[in-house]
Chains A and B, each alone.
Chain A
Amino acid sequence: MSDNLVLEAKSVSKFFGTITALQNVDLHLNKGEVLGVVGDNGAGKSTLMKVLSGLYKPSEGSLFFDKEKVTLNSPRDSQNLGLEMVYQDLALAGNLPIGDNIFLGREPTRKVGPFNFLDHKKRKQLTEEHLAKLKINVKSADQKVEELSGGQRQAVAIARATAFNAKIVLMDEPTAALAVKEVGKVLDLILNLKKLGVSVIVISHRMDDIFTVCDRVMALFQGTNFAESELKNTSRDEVIGWIMGKKD
Chain B
Amino acid sequence: MDHGEKRLMDKNQESLFVRLIPFFERYGILLLILIMIAVLHLLQPDVFLSWRNVTNIFKQVSWQSMLALGVFMVIVTAGIDLSVGSIIMLSLMGLAIASKAGMPWYVVMLVAPAIGFLCGMFNGIGITLLRMPHPFIMTLGTLYIFRGIGNLISGGVPITGFAEQIRVIGNGKIKLDVIFGEGAREYIPTSLILMIVIFFIFWIFLNHTRIGKWIYAIGGNPGAARAAGINVDRILIVVYTLCGFLAGIGGLILAGRTNSAYPNAGLQSELDAIAAVIIGGASFFGGRGTVLGVFAGIMIMGILRNGLNLMNVSVFWQQVLIGSIIILAVYIDVLRRQLATRT
Provide the bound-state CA to CA distance between A115 and B230, in Å.
19
B 1-18 binary contact with A (CB < 8 Å = 1; else 0): 001000100100000000
B230 touches A118 (CB 8 A): no
A96 touches B227 (CB 8 A): no
Residues of chain A within 8 A of B226, CB atoms compared: 55, 75
Provide the bound-state CA to CA distance between A106 and B223, in Å.
16
Return the chain A residue nearest B228 by Cβ. Answer: A105
Interface segment among A36-44, A86-94, A232-240: the answer is: A86-94
- The total number of A-B Cβ pairs within 8 Å is 80
Provide the bound-state CA to CA distance between A101 and B210, in Å.
12
Residues of chain A within 8 A of B231, CB atoms compared: 74
Say if the beta carbon of B219 comes within 8 Å of chain A.
yes
Q: Min CB distance, A87 to chain B, in Å?
A: 6
A 60-102 binary contact with B (CB < 8 Å = 1; else 0): 0000000000000011100100000101011111111000110
Provide the bound-state CA to CA distance between A74 and B228, in Å.
9
Among B213, B227, B228, contact of A118 (Cβ-Cβ < 8 Å): B213
Q: Min CB distance, B180 to chain A, in Å?
A: 36
Return the chain B residue nearest A115 by Cβ. Answer: B209
Residues of chain B within 8 A of A91, CB atoms compared: 221, 223-224, 227-228
Say if the beta carbon of A181 comes within 8 Å of chain B.
no
Q: Min CB distance, A116 to chain B, in Å?
A: 7
Q: Min CB distance, A119 to chain B, in Å?
A: 10
Residues of chain B within 8 A of A101, CB atoms compared: 224
Residues of chain B in range 191-227 having any CB-CB distance to chain A below 8 Å: 204, 207-210, 212-214, 216-217, 219-221, 223-227
Say if the beta carbon of A15 comes within 8 Å of chain B.
no
Q: Min CB distance, B82 to chain A, in Å?
A: 24
Say if the beta carbon of A137 comes within 8 Å of chain B.
yes
Say if the beta carbon of B173 comes within 8 Å of chain A.
no
B230 touches A105 (CB 8 A): yes
A116 touches B3 (CB 8 A): no
Provide the bound-state CA to CA distance between A79 and B228, in Å.
9
Residues of chain A in range 94-134 having any CB-CB distance to chain B below 8 Å: 94-96, 100-101, 104-107, 109, 115-118, 120
Please tell me the size bucket of the interface on B. Answer: 20 to 34
Residues of chain B within 8 A of A117, CB atoms compared: 204, 208-209
B224 touches A104 (CB 8 A): yes
Provide the bound-state CA to CA distance between A109 and B229, in Å.
17
Q: Given A93-B220, A94-B220, check contact A85 B210 (CB 8 Å).
A: no
A74 touches B213 (CB 8 A): no
Q: Min CB distance, A159 to chain B, in Å?
A: 14
Q: Min CB distance, A139 to chain B, in Å?
A: 6
A116 touches B209 (CB 8 A): yes
Return the chain B residue nearest A140 by Cβ. Answer: B7
Residues of chain B within 8 A of A74, CB atoms compared: 229, 231
B 281-311 binary contact with A (CB < 8 Å = 1; else 0): 0000001100000000000000000000000
B223 touches A89 (CB 8 A): yes
Q: Min CB distance, A46 to chain B, in Å?
A: 13
B7 touches A93 (CB 8 A): no
Provide the bound-state CA to CA distance between A87 and B229, in Å.
13
Q: Min CB distance, B78 to chain A, in Å?
A: 10
Among A76, A116, A139, contact of B210 (Cβ-Cβ < 8 Å): A116
Q: Given A118-B210, A137-B3, check contact A95 B223 (CB 8 Å).
A: no
Residues of chain A within 8 A of B207, CB atoms compared: 118
Provide the bound-state CA to CA distance between A75 and B231, in Å.
10
Residues of chain A within 8 A of B209, CB atoms compared: 115-118
Residues of chain B within 8 A of A116, CB atoms compared: 209-210
Return the chain B residue nearest A139 by Cβ. Answer: B7
Q: Given A104-B217, A107-B210, A117-B208, check contact A93 B225 (CB 8 Å).
A: yes
CB pairs A–B below 8 angstroms (10 shown): A55-B227, A74-B231, A87-B223, A87-B227, A104-B228, A104-B230, A105-B214, A105-B229, A120-B208, A139-B7
Nearest first, the 6 closest Cβ-Cβ pairs linking A and B are: A76-B229, A93-B220, A105-B228, A95-B287, A95-B220, A91-B227
